[in-house]
Structure 1
Amino acid sequence: MPPLPRPPAPDPDQKPWQWPEPVWRGLVDRVRAGRRLAPERWPGGAPFAVAISFDSDHETNDLRDGGASISRQSWGQFGPRKGAPRILDILRRTDTPASFYVPAVSALLHPDEQRQVAGEGHEIGIHGWIHELNSVLPYEAERDLMLRSADVLEKIAGTRPRGIRTPSWDFSPNTLTIIREMGLTYDSSLMADDDCYELVQDGVPTGVVELPVEWIRDDAVYFGMNRFAGLRPYTPPEGVLDIFRRELEAARDEGGLFQLTLHPHIIGARSRIWILEEIIALGRGLGAWFGTHGQVVDHVLAACPAV
């Protein structure tokens, strides 16, 4: 599938308020939220669903920027050495399925981790090649990296990925075209709803499901830091749990989906890993159905057939 025609390019001599309607409407319509995929019932009659995910970035957070910092790479290595084992232990003890989105380079550096994740019944999805930013890539390069990433994950984990989460949730004008070309079932990078929805491209429904993310349901925004800019985490773990808990309880009240994004090198710290176990316990106590992102997508597609 070749790249779709681009909307009329903005005139560089014009300010946004001077753009004619075809320009701003074309930009907005490239990828939009279509029909909402919110089932009336969840498996087993559960009142709502919980989908927990982990972005196994590991060393690629530094490598994508040139790989100059041994310190940052060691922080990334904490993910497979300590974070992932702690996470898998909790998932195993609580019988909780999860989805792991893995850059191909992370999988090549730590293949045994991916085999263990897949072997314990969890989903592995595409998360770029080296955690690159899609929006700075030409179509051919983005397509090549996504295809190569799928090949690597299939070879290592034994199953070809059905879904993608773009690195840093960065979505180029060509990303959805490539997703469709690859025959992927779903994406989990965009934020137009709390519940799943169908992606629409240039006004045309695509059949691709979006399982939306949100920065407030991501551990990185609360615990990240930049030592050179003097930026430090400002939300204590108890505060982060409170935000996640309120999101989870609201999903229960609405009968919808609670989706969570965590990172092994971040949530895996001794002072934070308890948040994961607490969220699982809270969800279980409220009667949630827990599924991988792929399982959630399968359920909403079956429960919300196209008209």
Structure 2
Amino acid sequence: MPTDDFGLPSESWRWPEHTWRGHVDAVRAGRRLVPDRWPGGARVAVALSFDADHETIPLRDGGTSPGLLAQGEYGARAGSPRILDLLARYGVPATFFMPAVSALVHPEEARAYTRDGHELAVHGWIHERNMLLGRDDERDLTARALDTLTTLTGRRPVGIRTPSWDFSDSTLDIMIELGFAYDSSLMADDEPYEIVADGRPTGLVEIPVDWIRDDAPYFTMDRYGSARPHSRPRDVREIWTDEFDAAYRDGGVFQLTLHPHVIGHRSRLVALRELLDHIAAHPGVWYATHAQLADTARDVLHGRTTAGSAADTPEHTP
């Protein structure tokens, strides 16, 4: 069957209902998992995350030029140390999603994340395009990534973010089979929810992301393509500030996805610092890793009292 530019049958409008409905129902958002109050009686949860992709972006596509690899190396050499210093200054925990190849190239960086009290989570093997993989290859790469991070740090990750936020037909089953507690790759809500597969609850917590709350779309440049950075860092900070303010009013979650090789540049890190200043000016903010947020969401899922119940995740007030 001929396909269009998106890899879908060009005559998908001819699909019978059971076909298109099957695709729609395969992976859906279930119950929203938000407590009346966050741990410590907080009004809003803030979950910062950093995808430490580094050299894996060009390597994934077979790019081996020193110029391309240097862009990724910047994230490890300059961006990540600045980010860790900034988080320490504000007393804020974060989650670092790291491809296994990045961790093997920069093992001390991976250990520094957990040593400084942050969470390290799975982000594929080499930032592979899992939509192009068969089930066996996808499972093998995910399992190897999980084992690699466990070996390097002595801690088994509980969360996963798929490379490029893609789900193949096998991704969800692989996550469940490998025992992950949460995923952070989908975009069906602003708040955590339970993933439902073909109408059946899975028990897997989703901490949703969105391109609005990601630095890459605003700042990424492709020297051989049409992508050029056009956003002033402070303009982007204003968007993220509005996202936080709305989450604060709703009593929900403000989740942010950043990349050391993107946000770690000096002028852009100013925007992150000003955002943290804005958040710190609000009372009742609970800064959580994605794992801590997933634990609280799971309390809601199982009907346990959540407000103030997570003794190991106190409210942070920088």
Q: TM-score, normalised by structure 1?
A: 0.94
Q: 2:308 matched to which residue of 1?
A: none
Matches within 5 A, 1:18-33: 18-33=14-29
Residue 230 to residue 176, structure 1, CA distance change in 2 (3 Å): closer
The match for 1:181 among 177, 193, 198 is 177
In the aligned structure 2, how far is the partner of 1:134 from the partner of 1:42? 34
The match for 1:278 among 270, 274, 277 is 274
Deviation at 1:70, TM superposition (A): 1.6
Deviation at 1:68, TM superposition (A): 2.9
The match for 2:78 among 76, 82, 88 is 82
Deviation at 1:197, TM superposition (A): 0.3
Q: Superposition RMSD on alpha carbons, in Å?
A: 1.4
| Residue identity matched to 2:47 | A
Matches within 5 A, 1:108-147: 108-147=104-143
Deviation at 1:303, TM superposition (A): 3.2
Alignment size in residue pairs: 296
| Residue identity matched to 2:281 | G
Q: TM-score, normalised by structure 2?
A: 0.91
Matches within 5 A, 1:249-268: 249-268=245-264
Q: Which string of whole-angstrom CA distances, capped at 9 and with x for unpartnered residues, describes residues 190-229 of structure 1? A: 0000000000111110000000000000000000011112
Q: 2:224 matched to which residue of 1?
A: 228
SS of the residue corresponding to residue 71 of structure 1 reads: helix
Unpaired runs of 5+ in structure 1?
A: 1-10
In the aligned structure 2, how far is the partner of 1:44 from the partner of 1:252? 15
The match for 1:66 among 59, 62, 65 is 62
In the aligned structure 1, how far is the partner of 2:88 from the partner of 2:52? 18
Deviation at 1:118, TM superposition (A): 0.6
Q: 2:294 matched to which residue of 1?
A: 297
Please tell me whether the aligned partners of residues 30 and 202 of structure 1 are also in contact (alpha carbons under 8 angstroms): yes
Which sits farther off after the overlay, 273-282 or 254-263?
A: 273-282
In the aligned structure 2, how far is the partner of 1:237 from the partner of 1:92? 22
In the aligned structure 2, how far is the partner of 1:210 from the partner of 1:144? 22
In the aligned structure 2, how far is the partner of 1:93 from the partner of 1:158? 26
Q: 1:5 matched to which residue of 2?
A: none
Q: Which string of whole-angstrom CA distances, capped at 9 and with x for unpartnered residues, describes residues 152-211 of structure 1? A: 000111111100000111111110000000111000000000000000111110000000
Deviation at 1:306, TM superposition (A): 5.4
In the aligned structure 2, how far is the partner of 1:47 from the partner of 1:282? 15
Percent identity for Structure 1 against Structure 2:
54
Please tell me whether the aligned partners of residues 39 and 304 of structure 1 are also in contact (alpha carbons under 8 angstroms): no
In the aligned structure 1, how far is the partner of 2:227 from the partner of 2:91? 37
1:34 aligns with 2:30: yes
| Residue identity matched to 1:295 | Q
In the aligned structure 2, how far is the partner of 1:171 from the partner of 1:69? 29
Deviation at 1:304, TM superposition (A): 3.9
| Residue identity matched to 1:16 | S
In the aligned structure 2, how far is the partner of 1:18 from the partner of 1:81? 52
1:196 aligns with 2:196: no
Q: Which string of whole-angstrom CA distances, capped at 9 and with x for unpartnered residues, describes residues 79-129 of structure 1? A: 110000000001111110000000000000000001111101100000000
SS of the residue corresponding to residue 271 of structure 1 reads: helix
| Residue identity matched to 2:196 | V
The match for 1:155 among 140, 151, 155 is 151
Please tell me whether the aligned partners of residues 205 and 297 of structure 2 are also in contact (alpha carbons under 8 angstroms): no
